[in-house]
């Protein structure tokens, strides 16, 4: 990012980039119908494809299924959280799993939220917006801190 404005604009609701990860095309279609008109969506059908996308063009938020062949959502999330340049991407799990211990596994893997399938459009939209607002507020605080430090350095250099 070249400037503070670019950074803040990155997570505005209008141009927020969301990666949807699910091996079932019908689930991708449903989320696309719910969120596609409001956000920039990209899609991955596997954990490995999600990792490749995150490394090449990190999204602002990830919506991820848990049960996928080869590299499941929990393992994919753990890899994301342990990879330097992408560890801060929030992951919301959307899954058919409903037991308390399965939900807890999502939290322990590094997820920031958990929703069950079938998804309800209004709660999904509201949660996505809430998480994007939190991301935006966090970036604003970070940028204000950097701005304050720069102002302090400039002030000290004048005297």
Q: Domains along the chain?
A: 4-158 (3.40.50.2300)
Mean pLDDT, 10 residues at a time, over the chain (159 residues)?
Answer: 46 82 98 95 98 97 97 98 96 93 95 96 96 86 83 79
Please provide the distance, in angstroms rounded to a whole number, between the alpha carbons at the two ends of the chain: 32
Beta bridge pairs of residue 19: 42, 62
**Confidence at residue 3, expressed as pLDDT on a 0 to 100 scale:** 43
**Confidence at residue 144, expressed as pLDDT on a 0 to 100 scale:** 85
Q: How far is it between the farthest Cα atoms of the chain?
A: 64
Q: What are phi and psi of 46, to 5 degrees?
A: -155, 160
């Amino acid at each position: 990012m070249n400037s503070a404005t670019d950074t803040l604009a990155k997570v505005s609701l209008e141009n927020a980039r969301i990666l949807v990860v699910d091996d079932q095309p019908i689930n991708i279609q449903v989320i696309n119908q719910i969120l596609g008109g409001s956000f920039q969506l990209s899609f991955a059908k596997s954990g490995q494809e999600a990792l490749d996308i995150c490394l090449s063009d990190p999204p602002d938020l990830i919506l991820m299924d848990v049960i996928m062949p080869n590299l499941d959502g929990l393992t994919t999330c753990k890899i994301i959280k342990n990879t330097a340049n992408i560890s801060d991407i929030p992951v919301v799990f959307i899954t058919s799993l409903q037991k308390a211990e399965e939900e807890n596994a999502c939290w322990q893997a590094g997820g920031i939220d958990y929703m069950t399938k079938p998804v309800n459009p209004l709660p999904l939209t509201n949660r996505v917006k809430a998480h994007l607002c939190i991301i935006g507020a966090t970036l604003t605080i970070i940028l204000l801190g950097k701005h304050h430090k720069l102002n302090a350095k400039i002030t000290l250099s004048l005297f």
